[in-house]
Every structure is written in C-alpha cells, then in structure tokens.
Structure 1
Amino acid sequence: MAPSLSRRRLLQAAGATAAASAAGSFIGVPSAHAAIPPARADIGVSAHPFALGQVRLTTSRWLDNQNRTQNYLRFVDVDRLLHNFRANHRLSTNGAAANGGWDAPTFPFRTHAQGHFLTAWAQLYAVTGDTVCRDKAVTMVAELAKCQANNSAAGFNAGYLSGYPESDFTALEQRTLSNGNVPYYTVHKTLAGLLDVWRLIGSTQARDVLLALAGWVDWRTGRLSAQQMQTMLQTEFGGMNTVLTDLYQQTGDARWLTAAQRFDHAAVFDPLAANQDKLSGLHANTQVPKWIGAAREYKATGTTRYRDIATNAWNITVNAHTYAIGGNSQAEHFRAPNAIAGYLNNDTCESCNTFNMLTLTRELFALDPNRAALFDYYERAWLNQMIGQQNPADSHGHVTYFTPLNPGGRRGVGPAWGGGTWSTDYGTFWCCQGTGLEMHTRLMDSVYYRSDNTLIVNLFVPSVLTWSERGITVTQTTAYPAADTTTLQVTGSVSGTWAMRIRIPGWTTGATVSVNGVAQNITTTPGSYATLSRSWTSGDTVTVRLPMRVIMRTANDNANVAAITYGPVVLSGNYGDSALSSLPTLNTASITRTSSTSLAFTATANGSTVNLSPFHDAHGHNYTVYWNTSGTVRLANAGSGLVLGIQDMSTADGGRALQWQDSGTADHDWQMITDGDGFRFRNANSGKVLGVQDMSTADGASVLQWSDNGTADHRWTLLDQGDGTYKIRNANSGKLLAIANNSTAVGAFAVQAPDDGTADNRWRILRS
C-alpha cells in the first residue's frame, strides 16, 4: 500500500477549510429554491431545466406520490441511518438500532442508501421549503463530519467516509474482494448526496466533507496505473464519473475532472462510441450511470466522443432493450437485442435502471431540445413505470424493486433477493428504494424547460411554474392522461413577443393548439414541438388537445405479442387474484372504452371479458401487460394510408408487392413468422414470403413474393418509431420497405429504399 494521505495535504488540495468541523454550518437561504450556482457553465447546452423550487405540483397523482415520500423522509430516524458510519469510524452509535436489509451491519455495501436520503431531503427543501427535511440533512452531514474527523483513530486515511473498512478498497484494487461489496458504488451515493446538500441547501460543511472524501478518491485512484484502474472498473462503481465531473463544474477545479476520467470504462465506452450494441449479459444498472457520466463529461469538455457514447447508449437501449412500459432488463441484466417477448418474467424492469434512463434523457435533451422522441420516451417510462412504482396504499410511499411483466404479475411481488415485497421503513434499503426517494421528490423537474426566452412544455401534469427571472407564472390545469386536453394560463409580466414550444407526442394525430379559444395556425406534426410565438397578455390561456387512440405496441422479437397503449398510457388487464400460466389471447377488435371521464376499457381475451385500465394504477391485483395477438396483420403505409398487397392477387413466385385500398382481399393479410431477431412476412393468399428481386442490395429494387427458400432477403427486422409505426428493414440489404417515388397512389409498387426519413418508409402493423 502506498504511503497514507496526510490530512494536511488532503485539505490543502481540496481547498477546504473545515472538512471535519463538528459544528454544522449552512448558508441562510432566502427562499426554498435558491441554489448555489456552478463555477463553470455546461458546454453545448441549448435548453435548461428550471430550478426545483420554480415548479410546483398541484393536486394530482404526482403530488400524492410526492407527499407520501415526504411523509417518510420526515419520519425516518437519522441516528439509525448513521449507525454503520459511526460504528465503522469507531464512534458511539448513541444507542440507535441497526437497520436491516441492505443497510444491515453485515451487508457488504451498507451505507449506500444514505446518500439518496441526503439528495431527497435536499430536493424536498428546494421544492417545498420543508425545514424538517433540511434539518435532517444538516444533522446527518454534521455527524458524518465527526466520523471523518475520527479517521486516524479508526485506522483510515484522511477523508475516508463509509460504513465498512477501507481495506475493502485495497482488496478491490488487488482483485481479491470476495464479500460482494461494490465500494465505489456506495461512495458515489455519499458524494452525490453531499453535493446536493451543498448546492440545494447551502451547507458549507457538506461542501467540506464532500471535498475531503473526493480528495481521498483522487488520492486512492491516482496511485493506480491505467490498466489497474480499468481492471478495477469491472466492479460496479455507480456514477463516479458523473459526480466528480459535477464537482469539477461546481468548483472549477480541474483536479476533479482528472479523477472523473479515470472512471471512463473502456470496455463499455468503446463499443458505444462505435455505435455497437454489446450490452447483452451486462448488469444493466451498472452501465446506465456510466452513460450519464459520459453526457456530463461532454458538457464539461466538449469532447464529442462522450456525447456520442451517451446518445448511442440511449438509442440502443430505448430501441432494442426497452419494454412497453419504458423499463429495461430482466433479472437486472440486459438480454440480447430486441429480446422482449422471451423475457416476460417477474423480475423485469428494475426501477433503478428506469430512474437512471430518465436522468440520461434529461442530459441529452439539454443538448438537443428539438428531439421530441426523448420526452416521448421519458413520458412513457415516467408515467407507466415510475408513478406506479410507489404503493398508493402506503402513507410512506414505499416502492417495488422490479415491475413484473409476467402474465398474472403483481406489483410488490418479486424474488426474495430483490426484496420479495414492497420496501419498508427500516428493513430493506435496496438500491431501488434509494432512487425511489429521489424520483418522487423531483417529479416536477422536467415538466418545463427554457431556452433563452422560449418556454418549453415537455409534460402534461397539473403544476405551477414561477419563471421568476421574467416575472411570469404559468399554471397548467389538466386531467391528462384521462383527458386529452391541457390548458396553460400565462400571467404576470408577460408582455412582449416570445415563444412557447409544446411537445406533440409521436403517438397522436390531429393535435390542436388554441389561445383564448381561437385556433392557432401552427404546425403540430407528431413527434415534434409546436412553436407558439405571439405577443402575450396576462391571462392568456393556451389549450392543447392531443387526440388519443388505441395502438398495439408489438414486442420487438415476436409480432404476435403486444401491449395495448392509449395515448401515453399502457393499459393492463385486471385479473384479480387469478393466476395466469400464459399470455391471454386478445381479440384486438374488441377493445372498447367504457367511460368518458376515466381510462376504463374492456376487451375479450380467451373468450372472456377483461377490464383494462392504466398500468400505473394496477395495484392490489394480478395483471397482464402483454397479450397473445396471433393471427394475420395488414401493413398500412404511413405516407399513403394504403395497405400492402400483391399485384392481381397473384400466387406465383415474383408477384410484385404494391399498395392498395384496404378492400379486405386475402392478399392484404400477412403472417409474421419469427426468424431470430427478425421476421418473415408470409402472404395469407399465396403462402409466399416477402423478399427483394434477385436478392438485390440496390436502392429501388423491387419487393416481391417468393417461395420460402431461406434466403437472407426474406428476413426483415422491425424498428419501432415510438408513434405506432415501424421501419421494416431488409436483413440482406439494410434497406427499408418503401413505396416507389414516395407515391400515395393506389397501385404504386413497393421497393427497398434508403432510410431518408420520408413517410413512405414507415408502416403501421394492423391486426386483421
């Protein structure tokens, strides 16, 4: 082991003056949302979120979730949370009882959860001005400072702070650690919590403890060779690159960026930089925080490789590894690309993964605020998984670890190693409980963004925005998603011309925007932002209508397995206490809305009527999210609305594919036959499969039917566009199924074409 880090050197290098002061110190904050600004501005950013205290939720399911979490955060005993820190640093535990679960005194990575508590307390103070939460955070920081001050007596190096011995890091570095600990994972949580208490509450003591611990990390990792560091990164380390980059941005001290970049994991970053999907088999939540770190490193350095890593990771995960509800992973691990229907188990969609994917989405949106697909995904995961993650019957807002997607699944029920049931006050402390605390104290953080003088509306939730810098208040009133309309009233010093940009989700058609009852002549293209630029008057009311319809979201790997969506909402079937051994077979034509005020539907499955309702409300009963929808489909072109058939209903090899009115002839029906990670489209009339003439790889080559002889041009893959349409890519040529010359005419022939973004490259899959 290298010579120990002297306390004097650590404090000097960190620029701290009282890293272990026993007396707490925090800057008086005149309002709940006055955060300490960073020393450095982010690079490449063109949209900014509002500060937490500037957006307030009003009466809604979202506010209910926040209130339940607030109850727990006000209730929890700080002394119990400090038990392992104090014991490890050789201080009295003050008679506090030990916790259970992942914070038990014998659990390998105990004290990982406390950083989440610090962040959640700080966020709630910023959002609500709750001084109980502020005081709990300040108290914990003061006690952590005492632990850090006792390092010499405990036999630890200066700055160290944890609930387990420093020797675990020595074993980690030597690759002899065998007790299941993930040491830097826990340190990341502590660093992040301290940073949030400093930024959001103004605690200088949190800053000092943070800098001392970060200095210890810098010293510890700075002694290792690049190869030693990369080998060590095979063990989960959370978002160490994220928090150290944030510390660089907050302080302007380049030391922290150097330390952050030591945590750039080449084995994960290199394939993503090349846009390669090498995720199969990897522990999912180990990876996502690294990608967030890459996004933060781009904003700190301007190095485009970091941006590419983060963007490619998001695209790959959302397009090839994400279930209908927005979550990913099975048994905490990524599976093969597009493996969805084959992994409908009770341990799908770990909550941490989705929380971190939402964070990554926010980071990318700041760089590309014109990309509506980012918040289409955000809304899907935020609404369907994360709102429903919390138990509404629990006044402390406890959460589920996994969101089961097996037929007959039920929230709060999972494998024992995942907690077995809902989280509890003192007996669980899993990772997902920690991220749940953060999630439900920042539900409002992405509703609105700003870009210079432009207001961006991303999400539709009852809320009040106080744009204090401009003296403007925006009040959003809505029953969304039960209703398809939201209103935004603008009051205050609103005079002058400025723009409001409103997300038009990819799943809607015919969206409208009006002001004070007058329809506005603005473009509302699905999957874009509608820009409303006008000279405003206080009291102006914007009404946005986003028509919803039922869309079947087909599993990437099996076109006969699909989830039901209505607008942004996934609908699940209510099976009470009945067990299901397989996916129910759904008659898709039977789906019927039964209420004009709530999202209540019925459908026929397995010959019986089943009630359908929003999945985020699926609590206390068994459900199914996915259904067996086997049968034939029609392929409707998004550009023309016409369906794909065979010229003259030919049954011969070489019959050309074309588009025609949906007249019900048998040649319009296709069976989708799973073929590895793709499909063959077999015509119900001829029994032939769809292919490309002469197996051509050229643009414009004719698409036709042929005997199913196994050639590569007979296989096609689906690329879900998130709006109910798919791009259908030929496995042999890489070209897309399209219509010649983008024609909308009846009888126009199908061809293969490059992915040039035209509407004729996209298709709707309609159940026959």
Structure 2
Amino acid sequence: MAQPFALGQVRLTASRWLDNQNRTGNYLRFVDVDRLLYNFRANHRLSTGGAAATGGWDAPTFPFRTHVQGHFLTAWAQLYAVTGDTVCRDKATYMVAELAKCQANNSAAGFNTGYLSGYPESDFTALEQGTLTNGNVPYYTVHKTLAGLLDVWRHIGSTQARDMLFALAGWVDRRTSRLSSQQMQAMLGTEFGGMNAVLTDLSSQTGDTRWLAVAQRFDHAAVFDPLAANQDRLNGLHANTQVPKWIGAAREFKATGTTRYRDIATNAWDICVGSHTYAIGGNSQAEHFRAPNVIAGYLNKDTCESCNTVNMLTLTRELFELDPDRAALFDYYERAWLNQMIGQQNPADDHGHVTYFTPLSPGGRRGVGPAWGGGTWSTDYGTFWCCQGTGLEMHTRLMNSLYFHRDNTLIVNLFVPSVLTWTERGMTVTQTTSYPTSDTTTLQVTGNVGGTWAMRIRIPSWTSGATVSVNGVVQPLTATPGSYATLSRSWTSGDTVTVRLPMRIIMRAANDNPNVAAITYGPVVLSGNYGDSALSTPPALTTSSIRRTSSSSLAFTATADGSTVNLGPFHDAHGHNYAVYWNTGATVRLANAGSGLVLGIQNMSTGDGGRALQWHDSGTADHNWEMVADGNAVRFRNAHSGKVLGVLNMSTDNDATVLQWSDNGTADHRWTLLDQGDGTYKIRNVHSGKLLALANNSTAVGAFAVQAPDDGTADNRWRIVRN
C-alpha cells in the first residue's frame, strides 16, 4: 500500500493552484460564523444573537439546511493544517463551541441526547417510517457535520469537537440499532451522503469497532450487490448519492480486509470512469447517470456536477493507496483535477466562488446556465449548494495527492510547483515547473537524502518518448506510457531530477460517437473561444488544422465551420462561450440494401420540407449525413442543408413522407439503429416505430423515402458507408 503525506507536509508555490487556494482562503476568513449558526441555534431553541439568516440551501425553510457547515469546518481545519492560518482555526473552534451549546440544549428543545442539526429530529422519524415528504435528506446533512467535527479534531486537535463527534455518532448508533435490516435498507433509498465512510473513519481514528458496525448498517445492498458482480446498473441513479457510498466501501475494505468491499469500489470506479465520464473528467447530466457510453448524446448545460468529481477524486486516492502501481488512477485524477476542478472556481472573484455544473453544451459558458439558489456562481450567503461546500474542501486540499510514499520510496503523481517536507526523513523535495504549459518539471532533493532509495514518477498514458534525467544526465530507465518510471540511486543533497513528458494533440472521441470528440494536448482539454456567439451544435473541426501559436502559453488555433477559432485550456475558459466537443468532420452515406442507391435530398434543397429520395452515388454534398448521437438514438443531419431527417407532420402512418426539417427536437427526428449482423441496419423512427424505407420498394432513381412497417423487405435495410 501507499501512504499519503499529511496536509502540512506539502505546500503549493506560485501557480494557478495556489491562486485558487488563496481565493478560497479569503472567503473562509471573511464569512460570518454567527450567520452560519443561525439555523442550528434556532432549531435547538437558543438565541440567534441578532445574526441574519443565510439563503439558498441554508435558508431557514430549506429542507436540508445546515449541510454546508460541516464543509466549512473541514475547509477551515484543512487550511489551518496546510498554512497555519489562525483565523481559520479560530473560526472553526468558535463554531464548534457554539454548536456544543446547541447539542447541550437538546433536552429543552425536545431532542434526544447527541442530536445536532438545523431541523427537527422528527424528520428522522418520518424517514424511518417512510413518510418523509418535505424533500429532506437527513443523514446527508448529519454526514457533513460528523465529517467536519472529525476534521477539526484531527487537524486542529479540538477535544471539544471529538466529544461532540462521539455524542452525535452515538445518537446515530442508537437511532439505527433499533431498526430491522429491512427497515434500514428501505431508509437507505434516501440520500445519506458518506455515512459509511465517516463512521469507518471514526473507527479507524479511535480503534473502536463499535463505529465500524454502525458504518456497515449503511451498506446499501441495492447499489453494492450489482457492483460486487461488476454490473453497470447506474442508469437513472442520482450520481452524487452513489459516489460517497463507493468511498465508504474502499475504507471499509481497509478496515476489514473483506475483498467484496474492494471489488465494489474498484468496479464502481472502472464503470464510472470507463462508461460515464466526459473528456474533462466529470460525470452525470442533470445530476444523474445516464445509460453507459452516451456521452455525445448528453452535451448539455447541466453536465459534470462538481460534487461528483470531488468525490471521484477522493475515491481515486483511496484506490491508489491500495494499488499504487496502477498509473491509470492518476491519469484520471489529473484529467479531472486539472480540467474541471481548477476551472470550477471563478478567477475574477476574490472569494473564489464556484460553479455547480460545468456546461459541456456547444456554446456553453461557466457562470451561465442552470443553477441552484438564484445564481450560477456561488455567492457569499445566498447559495450554499452542495457544490459550494465541496468546493471549499477541494480548494483547501489541492496539494494532498501530489506525492505519496511506500516505505522509503517517494511516489510523484502530479506535476505542480510545490515543496514536500518529508519530516520523518529530514528531507525536502522542491518541484519547479510551468507544466502543463511546458512539458518539463524538475524535482530537487535537499537535506538528509543520503543512501539508496527510489523515486517513482508517473509517466502518463498520453505521452511518448518521456525521459528522466539526474543533474542533466538522461537515465537508462524504462519510461513506458501509462506506468511508473522507477529511479533508484544513491542520492546526494542537491540532486535535481528533470522529467520531460512530450505532449501532442490527441482527439478524445465520445464513447457513443467516434465523430464527436474533444481536443487534448497532453493532459489539457482545449476549448474554442466563441466570445458571445451562440452555438447550437458542435462545430465542424478540421483536425489537421490545429496549430500551437505560442511557446509561452497554451494558445492554439484551428479551423472550424470554415473559420479560424482560438483554442486554449478549458480550465481557463472564463468569460466567453466555448466549444469542448467538436464534430470531427466524418460523414456517412446511407445506401439502400435493395436498390444500392444512396439517400439524398430532392434537388439538393436546403429548405424545410425537402423530400428525401434515393439517387446515384454522385458525390454531391446532400448525400452525406452526420450521425449526431442523441441519448440511445441518433439524428441524421444533412451535410449540405444542415437539416435533420424527420417525418412529415410527425405522422405515425405507413408510407408517411420522410423529409428534412430544422432540428427542433421533435421525437420524429430521432432514429435508432438495429444491426442486422450482415453489414446492414434497420433504421427505426423513435416516434412512430416505423422503419426508414422506399415507396413501393422501388429501386428507381428518384424514388422517395417513406416510413414503413418492418415487413422484411430489402428496402427497409441500409448500409452505413463512411466517407
């Protein structure tokens, strides 16, 4: 196993990462703790002290108010551990002291011993009885409070936080111990955060197996059983409800050695990353998992909820500790950490406010689109979404995965300006780099570095020709992409390791459509700057036109839709509309199996209503079609007219006319492909259920396309011929 370094052992130096940390620190020092305490004090029948209530998800009437305070406790504690910030320490200890007064007033408030929340305990009774209808997710908020108290105890050393943590966890134990297994599993159908994770952490922290037993009550069989069998049943599930459970499974494996837990966590990661993850490393659309591999079909404004990505990064860390030879884990970690999380924060905001979703729709824009609580960037007091809370945590622990160690072996996972103080060995490692703008990083070791030991350096899967040098001399070691290069030597203080990871443009195709792809340069997803221009579809990119235009920045140009567009790192795409996914220019011809003729548009019309017909394959543009993924279906967009294939008046009748029309999202524009196993497909209309066919089974040039029943005739089958 690999071991992480403590937060205080790694610090960031000048970089975008440090800028993000500093902006979050500004907000953490600014926020009024008394306002954050309002709902706790009111619920536990204490004076609110004249403080104003907060808004958004922490408003006094919001169902699961007081979830965010646990995030604040964690973020304050982490920033104190990282930087020694005493303002953050004092805010954390003040909140803990005031929450202790709330917890101590439970009898007067009519609550049971140990309870601590911003809403009545009766919500838990309703949850247990299956009658909770107010939208609350009670254990979700309790998880945040437990985790925050645990972090204040661990990082600040607060015994008051420890005692409150034991009291609240004891309340959870008493509450859940009286439920049958069937009642408990029914209750787990309501989101409960990472209760299994935090209670396992408490068991590990104290050595008391009581808490592990409570944690295991939160093992959700409906989710765990399919994953243990490596089955992908994520479609339709609320995404961020699931990922914390997977983290808990990884920690339960560490605590118990039960391999089923390890399998659940590993399979969940493999399934999510392999089949449900966008190029930037995020997952989900409208907070939910969709069918496996339908990436291009869901390029919407509400993709990539930030909480999911934060939690996937945590899961990745957990799995890496178990399997530190698996470089793919940190290939993914870097992708999500660099492309989504660094850009989640608004660099123009001194308080470092963040997005809830990261839009991947054509012409998307950070800060514009669906949002909770009245704003697309979080605000000081008016939002308090889940993603604002996890954002506070994320940007106060950006350094926690740069380095690991396995006994005396140092593992270098990420390439960021930083200083590692390996206190136990009396050694310092200073990393200096402008990566990913450059492809090189240096690591200088100083202090008590004597003796022979190994440095293991991640060689990303996207590179080729990587080299590792020591004091300017290239070392004869294996640097295979997608692995770790091991540099073992007798070290001297001042030795400098230089790692070069050549970068190149690679198109990352969507799982469900090879003709829709994102542009990557090394680890960086590049996006197109479209200013304030609107886009309705992915721009048609000439991939051979991509050129880097600067050696000092990641500035590129390309030709898309016949015009030049500027490209840059997606994490820097702020203040303009962007394109992340592109139509890479491939089109197809639809050749009828009966006639051998290809589908086109009458008189090469570009207007709505142009009729589809069959014609000789003469190479005209109206014979070319783009297959645009749309969930589990496709839309056929004519390369000449830009219109999509549909059915006249959305008819469901036999022999209804097939024509082109503006892409207005009607169901008759969607078609499913049924592979016949002989190189042909039946193309079924989603609205009518009828097949794309030819009038009267005609083999004549100019015969019109219609929809027809599945009668087994050859004109119902089509060959998809790629251009």
**In structure 2, distance between residues paired with 1:338 and 1:527:** 23
Q: Which residue of 1 aligns with 2:220?
A: 265
Mapping of residues 635-650 of structure 1, within 5 Å: none
| Correspondence 1:369-518 to 2 at 5 A | 369-417=324-372, 419-518=374-473
Q: Which residue of 1 aligns with 2:574?
A: 619
Give, in whole Å, the separation in 2 of the partners of 1:272 and 1:590: 43
CA distance in 2, matches of 1:420, 1:58: 32
Q: Please tell me whether residue 168 in structure 1 is matched to residue 118 in structure 2.
A: no
Q: Is residue 331 from structure 1 mapped to residue 286 from structure 2 by the alignment?
A: yes
1:674 deviation in Å?
8.5
Shift of 1:108: 0.3
Work out which of the residue numbers 536, 541, 551 in structure 1 matches 2:496: 541
Give the whole-Å Cα distance in 1 for the aligned partners of 2:225 and 2:674.
38
The aligned runs of 1:127-146 (5 Å cut-off) are: 127-146=82-101
How far apart, in 1, do the equivalents of 2:125 and 2:368 lie? 38
Q: How does 1:691-702 map to 2 (within 5 A)?
A: none
> What is the match of residue 761 of structure 1?
none
Aligned to 2:542: 587
1:200 aligns with 2:155: yes
Map Cα deviations across residues 714-768 of structure 1 (whole Å, 9 max, x no partner).
Answer: 699xxxxxxxxxxxxxxxxxxxxxxxxxxxxxxxxxxxxxxxxxxxxxxxxxx99
Give the Å deviation of 1:713.
7.8
Alignment of 1:92-241 (within 5 A): 92-241=47-196
Deviation at 1:581, TM superposition (A): 1.4
Residue 206 of structure 1, CA deviation: 0.2
Contact 1:401 1:412 (8 Å CA) reproduced: no
Q: Deviations over 1:101-158 (max 9, x none)?
A: 0000000000000000000000000000001100100000011110000000000000
Contact 1:414 1:420 (8 Å CA) reproduced: no
Cα distance in structure 2, aligned partners of 1:450 and 1:434: 29
Residue equivalent to 1:719: none
Contact 2:507 2:518 (C-alpha < 8 Å) held by counterparts: yes
Match of 2:475 in 1: 520
Matched residues in 2 for 1:678 and 1:476: separation?
48
Instruction: Report the AA paired with residue 300 of structure 2.
Output: N
How many Å separate the matches in 2 of 1:712 and 1:475?
A: 58
| CA distance in 2 between partners of 1:447 and 1:203 (Å) | 28
Q: Check if 1:74 corresponds to 2:37.
A: no
How far apart are the structure 1 equivalents of 2:628 and 2:371?
34
Contact 2:541 2:584 in 1 (8 A): yes
Deviation beyond 3 Å, 4+ runs, structure 1: 416-420, 670-679, 708-716
**Residue 528 of structure 2 is aligned with which of 552, 569, 573?**
573
Q: For structure 1, which runs of at least 5 residues remain unmatched after alignment?
A: 1-45, 634-650, 652-669, 680-707, 717-766
Structure 1 residue 64, shift from structure 2 partner: 0.2
Q: Give a deviation string over 1:239-287, Cα, whole Å, max 9, x none.
A: 0000000000011111101100000000000000000000000000000
Equivalent position of 1:60 in the other structure: 15
**Contact 1:241/1:264, CA 8 A, preserved across alignment:** yes
Q: 1:573 touches 1:611 (CA, 8 Å); kept in 2?
A: yes
Aligned-partner Cα distance in 1 for 2:34–2:323: 44
- 1:582, distance to aligned residue in structure 2 (A): 1.2
Equivalence for 1:608: 563
| Alpha-carbon contact 2:373-2:382 (below 8 Å) kept | no
Matched residue SS, 1:267: helix
> CA–CA distance in 2 between the matches of 1:416 and 1:400?
8
What RMSD in Å do the two structures reach over aligned CA positions?
2.1
Report the AA paired with residue 457 of structure 2: I
Q: What amino acid maps onto 2:246 in structure 1?
A: W
Matched residue SS, 2:437: coil
Residues 562 and 628 of structure 1 are in contact (CA less than 8 Å); yes or no, is this contact kept in structure 2?
A: yes
TM-score, length of structure 1 as denominator length: 0.78
SS in 2 for 1:469: helix
CA contact (8 A) 1:298 1:306 kept: yes
Note the 1:287-326 alignment, pairs <5 A. 287-326=242-281
**Closer/same/farther in 2, CA of residues 295 and 99 from structure 1, 3 Å limit:** same
In 2: Cα distance, 1:427 partner to 1:711 partner? 55
Distance 2:445 2:370 in 1: 49
Equivalent residue of 2:93, what SS? helix
Q: 1:628 maps to what in 2?
A: 583
Q: Say which SS state the counterpart of residue 382 (structure 1) adopts.
A: helix
Code of the aligned partner of 1:572: S
Summarize the Cα distance change of 1:578–1:713 in structure 2 as closer, same or farther, 3 Å threshold.
same
- How far does the alpha carbon of each residue in 1:431-480 deviate from its partner, in whole angstroms, 9 at most, with x for none? 00000000000000000000000000000000000001001100000000
Distance 1:539 1:416, change over 3 A: closer
Conservation of the 8 A alpha-carbon contact between 1:407 and 1:582? yes
CA offset at residue 417 of structure 1?
3.7
Give 3-state SS (helix, strand or coil) of 2:82's partner.
Answer: helix
Which of residues 217, 242, 255 is equivalent to 2:210? 255
Over residues 556-579 of structure 1, what are the superposed CA-to-partner deviations in whole Å (9 max), with x where a residue is unaligned? 001110000000000000000111
**Matched residue of 1:84: which SS?**
helix
- 1:419 and 1:375 map into 2 onto residues whose CA distance is 35
Aligned to 1:701: none
Q: Does 1:85 align with 2:40?
A: yes
> 2:56–2:372: 8 Å Cα contact kept in structure 1?
no
| Structure 1 residues 147 and 580: alpha-carbon distance in aligned structure 2, compared to 1, 3 A threshold | same
Please say if 1:246 is aligned against 2:197.
no
| Aligned-partner Cα distance in 2 for 1:471–1:84 | 47
- Measure the CA separation in 1 of the matches of 2:465 and 2:120: 61
Tell me, which stretches of 5 or more residues in structure 2 are unaligned? 589-595, 597-623, 635-672, 682-721
What's the CA shift for 1:171?
A: 0.5
- Secondary structure in 1 aligned to 2:425? coil
Please name the residue that 2:642 is paired with: none
Q: Distance in 1 between matches of 2:352 and 2:159?
A: 31
Provide closer, same or farther for how the CA distance between residues 378 and 418 of structure 1 changes in structure 2, counting only shifts above 3 A.
Answer: farther
Partners in 1 of 2:356 and 2:263 — Cα distance?
Answer: 30
CA distance in 2, matches of 1:383, 1:713: 44
Q: Residue type matched to 1:190 in 2?
A: T
Report SS of the residue matched to 2:557: strand
Instruction: Measure how far apart 1:414 and its partner are.
Output: 2.3
Which residue is 1:19 aligned to?
none
Structure 1 pair 418–91 and aligned structure 2 pair: CA distance change class (3 A): closer
Contact 2:459–2:482 (Cα < 8 Å) also in 1: yes
Whichever residue aligns with residue 339 of structure 1, its letter is V
8 Å CA contact 1:123–1:200 kept in 2: the answer is yes
How far has the Cα of 1:385 moved from its partner?
Answer: 0.1
Task: Letter of the 2:238 partner, please give it.
Answer: H
Equivalent residues of 1:409, 1:624 under 8 A apart: yes
Query: In the alignment, residue 293 of structure 2 is paired with which amino acid?
Result: N
1: CA distance, partners of 2:125 / 2:488: 59
1:216-258 per-position Cα deviation (integer Å, ceiling 9, x unaligned): 0000011100000000000000000000000000111111011
Name the amino acid aligned to 2:91.
K
Task: Answer whether contact 2:469 2:499 (CA < 8 A) is retained.
Answer: yes
CA distance in structure 2 between the partners assigned to 1:713 and 1:419 by the alignment: 54
Paired AA for residue 409 in structure 1: G
Question: TM-score scaled to structure 2, two decimals?
Answer: 0.83
